[in-house]
Chains A and B, each alone.
Chain A
Amino acid sequence: MAELDLSSMLFVLMLSTFVGFQVIQNVSRLLHTPLMSLTNAISAIAVVGSIIIAGEQKDALSTWLGAVAVFASVTNIVSGFLITDRMLKMFKEREPKR
């Protein structure tokens, strides 16, 4: 296995936290509920680790734990993106004056 690359992981953490603060601060307050459901779906990125554990099938217990984690993550991905889109569809501007 490659040597542990701790410093580059810490760099990634610092920079993405900074980017996150900048980007989120610009999100309209109107959309804070959809923001939360969208970040819910994005943080279901834990699916990556879950898939590896469930797919390695090193032993029965870890496969089970991984499968439950895949289930939980996929649930979040599906419901998070769908409900975000459903909510965003409702935000409409005033119709132009007739």
Chain B
Amino acid sequence: MSHGISATITQLSYLLAAGLFVFSLRWLNRPKTARRGVGAGVAGMGLAIFGTLLHPEIIGYGPIVIAALVGIAVGIPLSRVPLTAVPQRTAISHAFGGLAVGLVGTAKYMLWLGDGSLNAFRTGVICAEVILGFLTFTGSLMAAGKLQEVIPTRPITYPGQNFVNLGLLLIALGAGIALTLDPTRSFLFPLIILLSLTFGVLLIIPIGGADMPTVIALLNSYAGLAAVMMGFAMENKLLITAGALDGASGLILAIIMCRAMNRSFTNVLFGAFGQVQAAAGPAGEAKPIKSATAHDAADYLANSARVVIVPGYGMAVAQAQHRVREIYDELTKRGVDVKFAIHPVAGRMPGHMNVLLAEAEIPYDSLIEMDEINPEMPQTDVTLVVGANDVVNPAARSDKSSPIFGMPIIDADKSRMVLANKRSMNPGFAGIDNALYTADNTLMVFGDAKAVLGEIANALRAEGKAAA
């Protein structure tokens, strides 16, 4: 009897957990209620774990407790990484998610194989679970390596790459189907694992840093789908619900990222963007570059009414967000209207810039999306570009031969003046020349973003004091 009661409690806590997960995401729709969303998520997860621990099949808690303690010990430091490293942390977390799903699938397969309860349905979903889990595992590890720059971030390509990748995936799927048709062909199972692990690595090798936001979102989606498959294998509806929420989230983010680059999934995954740059534009029209000192830049900024700051990955690399905040403070003090123009793919993951600027305590109502800020650009006196490149490249609007043609950009060039901070004149991540830097209304401010912006902030401060 008590079995029946504990099974009911388990089912009820799973049901509540599923509801709480939906609310958790629902509350994330705006900053005011977002932290409540975390609370709901924690409560849901707590209930799910509680309900699971009541399962009558569990005969010993030792391994669970030890593994959980180690997990907590690793998880806490992972949550304290600097915010510039959040994309890597996210990728590692996708890898762990994929690993967990893959291992459970493997264990389940072997147990069922052993006790003879392996049927076609179980084999089929376990194959899907294991393929998704393990390719997410190695793919995400590769993505994390590229983001941390322990692996070269430039796309690595070779002839026939797409053929090899697709071939591997097809062989893995074929082996899965063959195994499903006859679950006794168990020799195929290790092959499927091996192929999925390899496919994950090969899938990410040709992908460049600028495409990371899309790829991270896609891997997020795969991790969710893998959990869905685990739900089917274990006949657990909570797993299906939570996995589907995660899968939907990753997919939506990936679609938003693709739209923001005017590209398709297939193009991101198989396009090897920015590898070969065909002779860009008509040759030999080296336009002169005008540059300004940090002092000049401070003057221009101080004497304007409306300033828009366009941050990019360069700001994150240089950890310059706190210098940006100083400039923001000095200008706001003078009554200058300062806004931030956020391109959806600026940075290395969706929303990356918003988090960095929030960390620097810039109020979120100053962070404006691309579509909202663009109509205001012609009335902007000075646009300050900090470590952004492709997202402000006017070639995306005008130059049909440019690889980024058609990508929506922030219309920095339409403002009255552009101050662009860059380390040097090397082309940006995608390896594309940027016409913005040679435009008549652009002044380049060369140097490390953190140092240059610090100088601008100091100049503004000194001038403010002198005036007072």
Contacts and interface: CB of A to CB of B under 8 A. Distances in A.
Interface string B25-59: 11011110011011001101100110011010111
B121 A69 contact: no
Nearest to B69: A74
Interface in B70-116: 70-72, 74-76, 78-81, 83, 86, 89-90, 93-94, 96-97, 99-101, 103-104, 106-108, 110-111, 114
Given A31-B31, A34-B351, A35-B28, A42 B361 contact: no
Interface in B295-320: none
Q: Interface size bucket, B side?
A: 35 or more
Interface in A11-68: 12-13, 16-17, 19-21, 23-59, 61-68
B71 A26 contact: no
Contacts of B247: 17, 20
Contacts of B74: 71, 75, 79
Contacts of B22: 16, 19, 23
Contacts of A74: 67-68, 70-72, 75
Given A6-B121, A89-B35, A55 B24 contact: no
Nearest to B31: A91
Contacts of B365: 93-94
A39 B30 contact: no
A38 B25 contact: yes
Interface string B220-237: 100110111011101111
B354 interface: yes
A24 B369 contact: no
With a 10 A CB-CB cut-off, give which of A45, A65, A68, A69 has the most chain B CB atoms: A45
Interface stretch (B144-152, B238-246, B282-290, B379-387): B238-246
Interface stretch (B170-178, B248-256, B414-422, B424-432): B248-256
B86 A42 contact: no
Contacts, number: 370
B217 interface: yes
Interface string A67-95: 11111111111111111111111111111
B462 interface: no
A4 B121 contact: yes
Nearest to B246: A43
A83 B26 contact: no
A57 B63 CA distance: 9
B349 A33 contact: yes
Contact of B235 (A4, A25, A58, A62): A4
B61 interface: yes
Contact of A13 (B81, B83, B104, B244): B244
Contacts of B226: 46
Given A9-B232, A12-B241, A48-B48, 5 more contacts: A29-B350, A32-B253, A42-B25, A44-B96, A91-B358
Interface of B: 18, 21-22, 24-26, 28-31, 34-35, 37-38, 41-42, 44-45, 48-49, 52-53, 55, 57-61, 63-64, 66-68, 70-72, 74-76, 78-81, 83, 86, 89-90, 93-94, 96-97, 99-101, 103-104, 106-108, 110-111, 114, 121, 216-217, 220, 223-224, 226-228, 230-232, 234-250, 252-253, 256, 342, 344, 349-352, 354-355, 358-359, 361, 363-367, 369
6 contacts: A44-B96, A46-B226, A48-B239, A51-B53, A78-B78, A91-B358
Interface of A: 4-6, 8-9, 12-13, 16-17, 19-21, 23-59, 61-95
